[in-house]
Amino acid sequence: MAKRGMLIVLSGPSGVGKGTVRKALFNEPDVDFKYSISMTTRSPREGEVNGKDYFFVSKEEFEDHIKNGEMLEYAKYVDNYYGTPLNYVNKTLDEGHDVFLEIEVNGAMQVRANCPEAVFVFLTPPDLVVLKNRLIGRGTDDMDVIDKRIKTAVSEIKMMRNYDYAVLNDKVENAVDRIKTIVNSERLKVNRVMPDYLSMLGEED
């Protein structure tokens, strides 16, 4: 049986650029971990592809998954469900691959409760002014929604203390480099490699 893979969770405030960073990360030639596609009930934005950016499902389908215990985490956010189907994650980890999740902060805390051994990375905006400008720049939400999100972001920054690492998203390529550094470093953690060394010495843990 392969050594179980590592679960990497990227989260952060709404509008911080999680999706952009995740896409750039998976365009890197040396990234060998697997992306777990989230499921959502929100409508696709322009250019988003079902089964690639998200699994876009109906509210009823999503609630069936919850009822059947088939979600690793889920959250309702601005009237829509977002979540991670459990089956793909478990199967891929069992095969020995590392799995990468890009999820909302509420969901990340559920993963923390269920999988404390996962690596939790919090993506942060350079500052809240930039966050506000980015949300306005996106042009898909009205001002009330934006104000509500700003307030949420302040409390979300404080949620950083529930994460292992904070990655500043000043530039997408910097954020990508930092995440790769974290993953490469975590792969050298003693609790991950100790079993390999002991078996090399013919010893059991």
Q: Which residues bind its own copies (CB under 8 A)?
A: 122, 124, 127-128, 154, 157-158, 160-161, 163-167, 178, 181-182, 184-186, 188-191, 193-194, 197-198, 200-201, 203
Nearer to its own copies, 67 or 161 (CB): 161
Nearer to its own copies, 115 or 150 (CB): 150
> Cβ of 148: how many Cβ atoms within 10 Å?
13
Nearer to its own copies, 28 or 197 (CB): 197
| Burial class for 123, CB neighbours closer than 10 Å (0-12, 13-18, 19+) | buried
Least distance (Å) between residue 21 CB and its own copies: 14
**CA 141 to the chain's CA centroid:** 23
41 and 50 Cβ atoms separated by less than 8 Å: no
Q: Which residues pair with 34 in a beta bridge?
A: 99
Least distance (Å) between residue 98 CB and its own copies: 15
Nearer to its own copies, 113 or 190 (CB): 190
Cα Dmax for the chain: 64
Least distance (Å) between residue 168 CB and its own copies: 9
Least distance (Å) between residue 179 CB and its own copies: 9
- Where is the binding site for ATP, in residues? 12-19
**Distance of CA 33 to CAs 84, 85, 101, 154, 183, Å?**
16, 17, 10, 31, 10
Owner of token pair 């499902």: 57
